[in-house]
Amino acid sequence: MKNNLLKWYQTILISWKKNTAYRLNFLLQIIGPALVFFFIKYSLWNTIFSKNPGVKIGGYTFAAMITYHIWSFIVSLIAQGHTALNLSMDIRMGRISSYLIYPFNFWEFHTASFIGFQLLQFVVASISLLIFSLLGILPEFTWTNLVLGMTCSFYVSLFWYTLQYLTGIIAFWLEETWILRVILQIVTVFLSGAVIPLELFPAWAVKILEYTPFPYLTYYPIKIFSGAPVDLTNFFTIVTGWMIILILANSFIWKRGMRLYTAAGM
């Protein structure tokens, strides 16, 4: 048990070091997109509200909309930062042969790397909150909501990881898995309420979305951060349900994929 924990600890440490080895790259690849996305949304909503001063759009004032997008920035950092790039590369390049021999399997290695990445994202999100606070644009919050929001975002990140894992192991069949990741990213950004709060969507679309995992990826974590009433039991039940489905799918695909695996380059 102790030996196994040590392996997890060392892999988390390696993941941290790998991610911070090229700092400019990390800034451009992870923090930059979230910052630019926030800046575009701020500019867009600022223009919209300046033409319609004092008006409420979908129940949002300008201040409420910016608050929504500040929390959206934090949620995107914690909940949806991870990609399955290394995972699919390992399969395509035949590198998983090593994991079949090592006493630390493929799933454990990538999950530990993911935890390392998440710790780093937590530090980035905390620094961002501090900067927002120094700039005087940090929305009002209670510590309870902040801790709850962070916890829910971490939980969503586990769901996101299992989803990314699924797109990664499809590399057993698919030459280019980045396409699936990009499709997932496009659909998620749009349907999760990362650009437009779900209150602005047509009512029929919101009804349909309630049956999908998308609102739980961004919209609900934002609502939890901002202290809006969210049924937490429902939130955790639905995210857990989707996660179980994905874990089962991952396990099935992994077993089928291993039958096809040819260990390229060995």
Q: Measuring CA to CA, which residue among 196, 175, 179 is closest to residue 83? A: 179
Per-position b or e across 39-72, b if 16+ CB within 10 A of its CB = eebbeebeeebeeeeeeebeebebebbbbbbbbb
| Min CB(190)–other proteins separation in Å | 4
Asked if residues 106 and 96 have their Cβ atoms less than 8 Å apart, the reply is yes
Asked if residues 224 and 230 have their Cβ atoms less than 8 Å apart, the reply is yes
- The residue written with tokens 């874990």 in the block is 247
| Whole-number Å distance between alpha carbons of 244 and 241 | 5
Asked if residues 199 and 205 have their Cβ atoms less than 8 Å apart, the reply is no
Which of the stretches 74-82, 150-158, 184-192, 234-242 binds other proteins when contact is defined by CB under 8 A? 184-192
| Min CB(56)–other proteins separation in Å | 9
Residues 127-166 that bind other proteins (CB under 8 A): none
179 in contact with other proteins (CB under 8 A)? yes
| Whole-number Å distance between alpha carbons of 167 and 165 | 5
Selected binder of other proteins within 119, 129, 148, 174 (CB under 8 A): 174
265 in contact with other proteins (CB under 8 A)? no
Q: Measuring CA to CA, which residue among 11, 5, 30 is closest to residue 113? A: 11
| Min CB(21)–other proteins separation in Å | 8
- Residues in contact with other proteins, total (CB under 8 A)? 39
Gap between the terminal Cα atoms of the chain? 32
244 in contact with other proteins (CB under 8 A)? no
Q: Which residue, 180 or 238, has its beta carbon nearer to other proteins?
A: 180
Q: Measuring CA to CA, which residue among 253, 84, 36 is closest to residue 185? A: 84
93 in contact with other proteins (CB under 8 A)? no
Selected binder of other proteins within 6, 13, 28, 248 (CB under 8 A): 28
202 in contact with other proteins (CB under 8 A)? yes
Residue type, 125: A
Which of the stretches 26-34, 135-143, 156-164, 258-266 binds other proteins when contact is defined by CB under 8 A? 26-34
Q: Which residue, 44 or 138, has its beta carbon nearer to other proteins?
A: 44
231 in contact with other proteins (CB under 8 A)? no
Selected binder of other proteins within 10, 33, 102, 147 (CB under 8 A): 33
262 in contact with other proteins (CB under 8 A)? no
Residue type, 242: W
Which of the stretches 4-12, 117-125, 157-165, 200-208 binds other proteins when contact is defined by CB under 8 A? 200-208
| Min CB(259)–other proteins separation in Å | 19
Asked if residues 107 and 10 have their Cβ atoms less than 8 Å apart, the reply is no
Residue type, 214: F
> Collapsing DSSP states into helix, strand and coil, what is residue 45?
helix
Q: List residues near other proteins by CB under 8 A.
A: 21-22, 24-29, 32-33, 36-37, 40, 43-44, 46-48, 51-52, 57-58, 173-176, 179-180, 182-183, 186-187, 189-190, 195-196, 200-202
